[in-house]
Structure 1
Amino acid sequence: MGSAGQSASTEGRRLIALSREHDRLAAEARTAAERWMIASRTERHVAGSLAPLAAAGYTFLHDRAWPGSRSRAQIDHVLIGPGGVFILDTKAWAEVTIAGGRVFRGQLDVTDDFDGLADVAYGTEAVLAELGLAPGEVHVVIVLAGRDLRPTPIGTVTVVGERNAAAFIHAHGFRLTEAQIDTVVRATMDHFPVVAECSQSVDASVREPVLAAAEPEPLFEVEDITEILLAGLRAEPIEAWMAFLHPSQARLVRREFNGPSRIRGAAGTGKTVVGLHRAAYLARARPGRVLVTSYVKTLPTVLSALMARMAPEVGRRVEFAGVHAFANRLLKTRGIAVNLKPNEADLLFKAVWREFGIGGTLEQTDPDPDYWRDELSKVIKGRGLSTFEQYANLARTGRRRALGIDQRRAVWRMFTAYEKGLRARGIHDFDDQILLAEASLRATPCTDYSAVIIDEAQDLSCAMVRMLHLLVGDAPDGLTLIGDGQQSIYPGGFTLAEAGINIAGRGVVMSTNYRNTREIVEFAAHVIEGDQFTDIEGAIQTIDGIQEVPRTGPGPRTARFSSPRAHDAALGSVVRGLDGRWGDIGVLCATNWQVRDVKAALISSGIAVMDLAEYAGLPTNVVKVGTIKRAKGLEFRHVLVARVDPRLVGTEPGDDEALAIRRRELYVGMTRARDTLWVGVCP
């Protein structure tokens, strides 16, 4: 039996404890309410600051649930419009600083808080890739309420002040059409569902207060809204393929490989487009730089300009360089002297040919010294062979003429004399440059690059590919080789096995032609009909199969002329008769001297021209004139292939290696055409 007053004391202590718990819960509720009210005011204010974008064609999705999440976490705003898809999170943070690629609230590093949103963007990319939206068109933006911060990239996220957010979004310009926006909006609404109302009941013994309506807050002056809308007008519309791909291409851009991979397919299947998007995607997804390279030295310049328009945010993260330019820069950075003297090297070879070739078994086999110059450059030095035994047992992939042991000994004597002459003169040729860079990377690896993409990989030598492979090794998604053996237009060749690269299970074939019309594809295919080549994977094959060509158009035209003069006189009339802008026209020739003559003929007829050697990928309304080699990887609405050798059309392919290469070169030139093709034939 308890003492007197014990029960009353217990009840009193219980009520005191209960009141304290109520006080604690009330304090927590007040704190939570303040946070929610701040978030509400912040989101409403930011939504208001973004309102001018509605006039620019943007659709707003507010307070959406995180995809796949069962929690009440939400995405503040999702905007879909001409500039792409923008996932916005608003922050009412004070004392925010950005330094060294990190974001701080006071002394607290909050950069990793953005990882969840980056994951949401990654999943959104995958969903929208099924429609064909390129991964780079999905953006995550952190908007700092009340701040005047310029857009600052932090990993895959952009942090921007509220007053600059709308202009930043609209500055992406016009990348999607109205139809594409509608398609993306429907998919995005499904991906980001509406936040469900809270189903938890509230136990309140007091009446709910009646709240006064919030006073509207002035957000922008007329000048501010004008600046936002002008931001979009300053950005020129980009080519359709920069934002919307075929779904199979968009998926390939994001595909993960556990080692070196290869993307191949016939001309027009979009290999270079996929490579460019993949470079941007990898640059966003990982640290380190991405190198995009090619044998054609002008192609990286054009691709760099396209990347600047397509994905300016990756900017310095993607490096474009011809393979020789890259090797030269690497050696210079490492202090390795290279004394390139190509003219002196050519004179040396001619002297060696006179001594070891003329009158001997090599001249009897082929009197053209260029054939043997290519043997030394592409077959021997292109593989870095150092002993005769290596050469004696070599399959010589890509060379059609079989050589016996006596012929190979003669070649090796000429090679050793040539190498001795180079060393005696203290000079190097371009093959030495590659071999020196490869040796340097083997001795001292470079860790600057996270990925390397090789466009037109079939045009490189074995040593070039080995050198580039050393930058990334067999890392997942490290090395991507893009190309088509049918478009190999240089002598020699190699296989990936020779380069020590294994792509088993990591090869992708693109089989739909998105560039050309069916008529152009069929016409160009006749030029190389029956031609066989050894692919870099080692298989002997004919043209890569094209399963589908969706587009049709007018049939290509062939005109034959009795002389180059008659041909050039007619060329100007053909150009003037084409629809559209002169900037959509490419006039392609086999040699530089043909380019010189054709340019002069067009200029004399009053047509503005630009040499492809000077073309940097920027829009310009002049006719582009250049060699087919310089046009690799490019495309034009109208293509005129000029001064074509009659032996390349209407005759059987035969076994002549040089003629076969020239036929493939003509095929490359023809397949640069999107809509119309004209071929001028003359002796």
Structure 2
Amino acid sequence: MTKVAESAVASLGMSPVAVQPLMVFAGHRVDAELGRVRLLGEHEVGPALLSERHRLRPESVRVIADHLDRAFPEYEGAFATRAISPPPQAPPQEELSDGLFDLDGLREAALEEALRAPIEQWMTFLHPDQVALVRRNWAGPARISGPAGTGKTVVGLHRAAHLAQRTTGRILYVTFANNLPRVQATFLKAMSPAVADRIDFRSLHSWSQEFLRDCGVSVRLHGERAQTAFSLAWKNVGRDSCLTEIDPAPGYWKEEIDHVIKGRGITSFEEYATVPRRRRRASLRRPHREAVWALYEAYEALRVERGVHDFNDVLSLALAEALRRTGQHRYAAVVVDEVQDLTLVGVRLLHALVGDTPNGLLLVGDGQQAVYPGGFRLSDAGIDIRGDRGQVLHINYRNSKEILDAALAVVAEDSFEDIDGLRTPGRRDVDLTYHDGHVIRVSKPTPSEHDQALLEALHSLPPGARADTAVLCPSMRAIGRYQRLLERASIPVCLLEHYDGRPVDAVKLGSYRRAKGLEFKRVYLPEHDATMPDGSRTPDAEVSETGRERNELSRSQLFVAMTRARDVLWLGSVNRPSAER
């Protein structure tokens, strides 16, 4: 009966996880669960229902009840239209039933409600196309992609709950960032509490470390000592090599080791000599690759000498252990959010947990929103997405045209290669559903005047608005600066690294990267163009290939930050004199 009800309300755009089966026993006292079905006695049902969070307006309840009456014609009607008294401001019942709340009207009303309270409505209503993806059966690994704001994470969360309702195994929901799992777990617990304890929300590295501990594999992760080992390797091997002809900054070559060599699991120079360096612009001839390999070997020797692992080692060890234990894993399905930010080794690891089993692996993400260097193709990981197992969302539910146009202007000239291997233009066409958001540009001659304008904007927020407001920065140094500034101005701050998705009356503060997967009604980007290249001062021909690569990555990160905004995008700038620049 629950499945029939789910199918009936899916045509209204209601998520299947919003249907919670309840069985009431007359003349008995009981409060228990059997699978996803809650069992209650007649005395327990009232308090249980009243304790549920209200998600629908009375007129929506009437329409859904009427729709279900038609879906279950053999049962006595619910008579919801007489049982529920309309609120004082509602029109008379005959007006409500006079075609006002047909299916199209209800979908529009659901969208309007979602725009007023976006997170809450994720728990109940999806677009019918999204509902279809949540409920679909896939014969193997699948992928959901689409531009920013198209609801990929929402579909991923509903899919995880849907699978948990229909399987006996556990579901792993994993992402690269370590702050997102807390937020996503909060959303899903409110959305579908009956299955929340069967879904593990983890960052990839934290899960991998726990997995290795359970397998009895010793891990000595120490980022600071590993970085010291690389610094010594650069001093001894890299600093005076031909690598400085391409880029004298050691950070670029540390990224080469992290994302191209170790991130792809390369163990021999012969393999590295010919591997495509995806999302890396600089062309390396064989002598340069030999120099990189010498730097890598020096780093590895010093790291091993110090007895420590880096983050890539954790994933490589976990992959080896997962392959050794094929068929012994406890997960029925794995959902990967922001998959474009993982390394190839990370994707191989998650694939190894479920293989190509039907509905086993769902990859969610968008290559345009990649905020880390390097890249891969799914084919490199042995993952074959065929036919309808690759779905693209095209409707933006978050951004208005004004906000989206401002964000797209940043990356319009930056085409990108997605993980499916397709080259995609920076400006993509999407259908918009929201039109009220706007961009505020503030330009001041000095940093102090700029900061004062930011404080004035935050102080002018109406009561309760801070809970859905974020100040995003490009670096940890900038975060520290603005944390001190806001706290001195008596503006409560909640760092994104501590945010768990629960409402808190404080301005969220964090980096562009940590804002991935989140959305806010108001987003403030102080000195948003400080790290952006100025083409008028630096002609493109004079910028090195590695410089262009860094600029492109900075633009991608800024694009991600800008598209977090729904109602207000505040862009601050400081017009310093040329001498100061």
**Shift in Å at residue 650 of structure 1?**
7.0
Encode CA deviations 1:16-61: one digit per residue, 9 max, x unaligned: xxxxxxxxxxxxxxxxxxxxxxxxxxxxxxxxxxxxxxxxxxxxxx
**Shift in Å at residue 579 of structure 1?**
4.4
Aligned counterpart, 2:91: none
Partner secondary structure for residue 329 of structure 2: coil
Encode CA deviations 1:409-468: one digit per residue, 9 max, x unaligned: 111111111112222221111100000000001111342101111110000000001001
Contact 2:437 2:566 in 1 (8 A): no
Contact 2:407 2:562 in 1 (8 A): yes
Read off the aligned partner of 1:192 and give its amino acid letter: F
Alpha-carbon distance in structure 1 between the residues aligned to 2:571 and 2:208: 37
Alpha-carbon distance in structure 2 between the residues aligned to 1:485 and 1:180: 38
Contact 1:176 1:244 in 2 (8 A): no
Assess, with a 3 A threshold, how the Cα gap between structure 1 residues 544 and 310 changes in structure 2: closer, same or farther: farther
Aligned counterpart, 1:618: 502
Read off the aligned partner of 2:496 and give its amino acid letter: L
**Shift in Å at residue 360 of structure 1?**
1.6
Contact 2:533 2:551 in 1 (8 A): no
Partner secondary structure for residue 373 of structure 1: helix
- Whether 1:485 aligns to 2:367 is yes
Q: Which has the larger radius of gyration?
A: 1
Aligned ranges 1:112-151 → 2 under 5 Å: 120-150=1-31
Aligned counterpart, 2:65: 185
Contact 1:348 1:418 in 2 (8 A): yes
Encode CA deviations 1:234-283: one digit per residue, 9 max, x unaligned: xx997122111122112211111111000001111011111111111110
**Shift in Å at residue 127 of structure 1?**
2.3
Assess, with a 3 A threshold, how the Cα gap between structure 1 residues 315 and 428 changes in structure 2: closer, same or farther: same
Alpha-carbon distance in structure 1 between the residues aligned to 2:510 and 2:276: 35
Assess, with a 3 A threshold, how the Cα gap between structure 1 residues 628 and 187 changes in structure 2: closer, same or farther: same
- Whether 1:560 aligns to 2:452 is no
Read off the aligned partner of 1:667 and give its amino acid letter: F
Aligned counterpart, 1:545: 428
- Whether 1:573 aligns to 2:453 is no
**Shift in Å at residue 180 of structure 1?**
2.5
Aligned counterpart, 1:86: none
Encode CA deviations 1:548-575: one digit per residue, 9 max, x unaligned: 1121125312222344333222211011
Alpha-carbon distance in structure 2 between the residues aligned to 1:265 and 1:238: 20
Contact 1:260 1:477 in 2 (8 A): yes
- Whether 1:298 aligns to 2:179 is yes
Aligned counterpart, 2:567: 675
Encode CA deviations 1:172-212: one digit per residue, 9 max, x unaligned: 2202222322331232111010459xxxxxxxxxxxxxxxx
Alpha-carbon distance in structure 1 between the residues aligned to 2:247 and 2:501: 41
Aligned counterpart, 1:224: none
Assess, with a 3 A threshold, how the Cα gap between structure 1 residues 593 and 297 changes in structure 2: closer, same or farther: same
Q: 1:630 aligns with which of 491, 514, 519?
A: 514
Aligned counterpart, 1:254: 135
Contact 2:36 2:195 in 1 (8 A): no
Alpha-carbon distance in structure 1 between the residues aligned to 2:297 and 2:374: 19
- Whether 1:357 aligns to 2:238 is yes
Q: 1:524 aligns with which of 407, 418, 423?
A: 407
- Whether 1:163 aligns to 2:43 is yes
Aligned counterpart, 1:608: 492
- Whether 1:345 aligns to 2:229 is no
Answer with 572-581 or 600-609: which moved more. 572-581
Contact 2:170 2:332 in 1 (8 A): yes
Give the fraction of aligned pairs with identical amino acids, expressed as a percent. Answer: 39
For normalisation by structure 1, the TM-score amounts to 0.74
Aligned ranges 1:381-420 → 2 under 5 Å: 381-420=262-301
Answer with 470-479 or 416-425: which moved more. 416-425
**Shift in Å at residue 142 of structure 1?**
2.3
Alpha-carbon distance in structure 2 between the residues aligned to 1:645 and 1:628: 13
Contact 1:486 1:544 in 2 (8 A): no
Assess, with a 3 A threshold, how the Cα gap between structure 1 residues 650 and 147 changes in structure 2: closer, same or farther: farther
Contact 1:263 1:482 in 2 (8 A): yes
Aligned counterpart, 1:321: 202
Q: Which runs of 4+ in 1 moved over 4 A?
A: 649-655
Partner secondary structure for residue 410 of structure 1: helix
**Shift in Å at residue 318 of structure 1?**
0.6
Encode CA deviations 1:491-542: one digit per residue, 9 max, x unaligned: 1111101111111111110000001111111111001011022111111222
Encode CA deviations 1:638-677: one digit per residue, 9 max, x unaligned: 0001222346287489560011011010010000001110
Contact 1:139 1:157 in 2 (8 A): yes
Alpha-carbon distance in structure 1 between the residues aligned to 2:374 and 2:63: 48
Contact 2:531 2:554 in 1 (8 A): no
Contact 1:126 1:251 in 2 (8 A): no
Q: 2:395 aligns with which of 512, 517, 532?
A: 512
Q: CA RMSD in A?
A: 1.9
Read off the aligned partner of 1:465 and give its amino acid letter: V
Q: 1:472 aligns with which of 354, 368, 376?
A: 354
Aligned counterpart, 1:460: 342
In the alignment, structure 2 segments of 5+ residues that lack a partner are 77-116, 577-581
> Between Structure 1 and Structure 2, how many residues are aligned?
524
Read off the aligned partner of 1:677 and give its amino acid letter: L
Partner secondary structure for residue 239 of structure 1: helix
Aligned counterpart, 1:502: 384
Aligned counterpart, 1:37: none
Partner secondary structure for residue 497 of structure 2: helix
Alpha-carbon distance in structure 1 between the residues aligned to 2:534 and 2:30: 65
Q: 1:370 aligns with which of 234, 251, 262?
A: 251
In the alignment, structure 1 segments of 5+ residues that lack a partner are 1-119, 197-235
Assess, with a 3 A threshold, how the Cα gap between structure 1 residues 192 and 543 changes in structure 2: closer, same or farther: farther
Alpha-carbon distance in structure 1 between the residues aligned to 2:427 and 2:333: 27
Q: 1:583 aligns with which of 460, 467, 479?
A: 467
Q: 1:153 aligns with which of 27, 30, 33?
A: 33
